[in-house]
């Protein structure tokens, strides 16, 4: 018997395309242009033997309406819960994906990819013997982002549907260059790569991904149609951790991907634990260096990097210790407290007091140190110190901004691309008494200092939060993905607005400007601050509770519209 599909799509052109394509695949199609008639058809489908629908092709409404909402609610009811639904969407909005994720036996296709219906319908409408294991845990894997690379459009779509059914976040690439480009735009956890690609092979792509700092964290798995030993060897030698076969069952394929996902989660957890450990070391031990038996620096705390002028750990870890410390004196000395002169990243002298902790069994040296304060006299400032002073004076910054400016200058001169992003966030904070006009917080006695103190509790990295002016505050945000900076901006502004002044009738409002240091490496610290201050003028002219995202050239509301 020919399978019968219900198609609902208001656009006559799109309806015509899908109806004809589905019929060419051998399906019988009943199409409707409006949602109420489709809803009636669902209710009436069982009136005659064999008149029930095998599945529904649902054109997602461009604008929500009571009629479309009624149809969506109907499809969520228990009597229709097992009915396969393919959602055709033009914009892939979050609410569309959320509805698809919340309903069993549901897939989503972009209209421009409508030919994927052949694979999608075949998978969804073909009875599967035995227990259904693929429909479980739909949302359990939405923390894992997967890149699928295959030059076959049907295999790409089939794999995408299979992975999305398990809750994975999926993007597709058809060749080597497209895959590399996507890894520069998105953060992936796993890459599933076909071995034979047009113009390349899976092992070559794996090598490219693992050699690129933007993608060397990705866990790569090769998918091949042959069991040839040389393909498996090439794949594993290139750095792939798994070699999977296309003729395996879907259950076995997803079991392999599930195991890789667990590995990815454990690795992420270890990274988070290491970061927490680093923060504890910074808080409790301060500046710490670990020197291995090969006399290379194997660990440096954040405080150690700042003291020695290194803007990033990657610049100091792996260096021969003799480039920074007096290694001969360290090896010869006994555990205790000493004074010494070391060398910073600019090859200048640094006077330190250090404690040489007892050696471990593997001959590592663990050094805890602090920089000795130097007495400043006019004329003995370094060029960097003079530049910082000029910046503070030129922009009329608060005297307390000196350490913040030093840190900003270190970050702005960092040219090496790393996986960590740095952004500069500037906030202006205002006070409002009942319904009266906003005034800068410095016009209320003690409030400016109170806000500065509270904001430093919001983001506790040393020298990363400062009061720049009477009612202006600066943040240096460190984050692993670019979108995190937007979320941090919104969260910090919300927390700022939630600060409670001592006066009961006063509430706080804020404005902000965000600029990425990582994406503006050609700009100096002075240019970055000047651009941020100009951006603040633009935001303040529009109102409060908004931040200007300079790199995106758009406003970010502090509180999303309800």
**Averaged pLDDT, groups of 10, the chain, 562 residues long:** 84 90 90 92 73 87 86 83 87 73 81 84 67 46 91 87 87 93 89 92 93 87 86 92 84 87 86 63 68 86 82 83 87 79 87 74 76 57 57 72 80 59 91 80 87 84 84 88 83 88 85 89 82 89 88 76 42
| Cα separation values, 33 from 8, 13, 41, Å | 6, 11, 12
Strand, coil or helix: 123: helix
Burial of 542 (0-12, 13-18, 19+ CB in 10 A): exposed
CA distance 498 to 507: 8
pTM above 0.85, yes or no: no
User: What are the backbone dihedrals phi and psi of residue 540, each rounded to the nearest 5 degrees, phi first?
Assistant: -60, -25
Burial 286-322 (b: 16+ CB within 10 A, else e): bbbbbbeeebebebbbbbbbbbbbbbbbbbbbebebe
Residues 258-282 as b/e (b if ≥16 CB within 10 A, e otherwise) read bebbeebeeeeeeeeeeeeebeebb
Delineate the domains of the chain, giving CATH numbers in brackets.
1-127 (3.40.50.2300), 131-284 (3.40.50.2300), 287-371 (3.30.450.20), 383-557 (3.30.70.270)
Angstrom distance (rounded) from CA 163 to CA 169: 8
Please report, for residues 26, 62, 93, 117, the alpha-carbon distance to residue 19 in angstroms, rounded to integers and kept in the order given.
11, 20, 24, 11
Long-range contacts of residues 441-450, Cβ cutoff 8 Å, at least 24 apart: 441/470, 441/471, 441/508, 442/470, 442/471, 444/501, 444/503, 444/506, 446/502, 447/501, 447/502, 447/506, 450/499, 450/501, 450/502
| pLDDT value of residue 136 | 42
Record the tokens describing residue 262, joined without a space: 């667990």
HEC per residue, 426-453: EEEEEEEECCCCCEEHHHCCCHHHHHHH
Find out whether 389 and 381 touch, Cβ atoms under 8 Å: yes
Distance CA 479, CA 145 (A): 18
- Four-residue CA torsion sign, 19, 20, 25, 28: positive
Q: Tell me the chain's radius of gyration from C-alpha atoms.
A: 30
Antiparallel, parallel or unpaired: β 145-149 and 169-173 = parallel
| Beta-bridge partners for 57 | 7, 86
> Sign of the CA dihedral 42, 43, 44, 48?
positive
What pLDDT, on a 0 to 100 scale, did the predictor assign at position 44?
82
Sign of the alpha-carbon torsion through 151, 154, 158, 164:
positive
Cβ contact 365:345 at 8 Å: no
In angstroms, rounded to a whole number, what is the distance separating the alpha carbons of residues 527 and 412? 10
Distance CA 494, CA 434 (A): 19
What is the three-class DSSP state of 27?
Answer: coil
């Amino acid at each position: 018997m020919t399978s019968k599909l219900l198609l609902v799509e208001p656009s006559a052109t799109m309806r015509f395309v899908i109806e004809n394509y589905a019929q060419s695949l051998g399906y019988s199609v009943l199409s409707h242009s409006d949602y109420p008639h489709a809803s009636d058809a669902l209710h009436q489908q069982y009136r005659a033997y064999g008149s029930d629908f095998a599945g529904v092709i649902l054109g997602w409404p461009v604008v929500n309406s009571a009629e479309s909402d009624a149809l969506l609610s109907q499809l969520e009811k228990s009597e229709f819960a097992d009915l396969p639904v393919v959602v055709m969407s033009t914009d892939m909005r979050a609410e569309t994906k959320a509805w698809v994720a919340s309903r069993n036996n549901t897939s989503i296709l972009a209209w421009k990819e409508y030919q994927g219906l052949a694979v999608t319908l075949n998978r969804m409408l073909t009875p599967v013997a035995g227990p259904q294991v693929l429909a479980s845990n739909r949302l359990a894997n939405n923390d894992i982002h997967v890149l699928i690379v295959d030059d076959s459009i049907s295999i790409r779509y089939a794999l995408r549907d299979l992975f999305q059914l398990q809750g994975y976040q999926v993007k597709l690439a058809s060749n080597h260059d497209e895959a590399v480009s996507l890894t520069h735009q998105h953060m992936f956890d796993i890459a599933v790569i076909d071995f034979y690609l047009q113009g390349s092979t899976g092992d070559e792509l794996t090598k490219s991904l693992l050699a690129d700092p933007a993608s060397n964290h990705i866990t790569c798995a090769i998918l091949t149609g042959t069991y040839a030993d040389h393909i498996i060897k090439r794949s594993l030698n290139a750095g792939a951790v798994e070699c999977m076969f296309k003729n395996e069952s879907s259950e076995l394929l997803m079991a392999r991907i599930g195991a890789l996902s667990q590995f990815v989660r454990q690795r992420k957890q270890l990274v988070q634990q290491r970061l927490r450990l680093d923060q504890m070391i910074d808080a409790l031990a301060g500046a710490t260096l670990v020197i291995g038996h090969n006399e290379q620096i194997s660990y440096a705390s954040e405080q150690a990097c700042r003291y020695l002028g290194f803007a990033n750990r990657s610049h100091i870890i792996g260096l021969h210790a003799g480039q920074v410390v007096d290694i001969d004196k360290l090896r010869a000395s006994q555990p205790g407290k000493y004074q010494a002169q070391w060398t910073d990243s600019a090859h200048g002298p640094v006077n330190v007091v250090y404690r040489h902790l007892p050696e471990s069994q593997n001959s590592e040296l663990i050094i805890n140190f602090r920089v000795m304060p130097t007495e400043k006299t006019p004329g003995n400032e370094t060029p960097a110190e003079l530049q910082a002073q000029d910046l503070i004076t030129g922009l009329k910054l608060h005297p307390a901004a000196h350490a913040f400016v030093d840190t900003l200058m270190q970050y702005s001169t960092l040219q090496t691309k790393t996986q960590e992003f740095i952004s500069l966030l500037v906030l202006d904070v205002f006070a409002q008494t009942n319904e009266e006009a906003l005034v800068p917080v410095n016009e209320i006695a003690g409030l400016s200092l109170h806000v500065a103190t509270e904001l430093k509790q919001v983001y506790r990295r040393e020298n990363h939060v400062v009061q720049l002016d009477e009612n202006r505050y600066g943040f240096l945000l460190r984050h692993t993905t670019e979108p995190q900076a937007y979320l941090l901006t919104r969260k910090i502004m919300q927390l700022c607005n939630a600060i409670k002044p001592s006066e009961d009738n006063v509430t706080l409002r804020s404005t902000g400007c965000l600029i990425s240091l990582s994406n503006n490496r050609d700009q100096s610290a002075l240019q970055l601050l000047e651009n941020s201050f100009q951006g603040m003028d633009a935001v303040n002219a529009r109102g409060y509770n908004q931040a200007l995202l300079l790199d995106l050239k758009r406003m970010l509301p502090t509180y999303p519209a309800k």
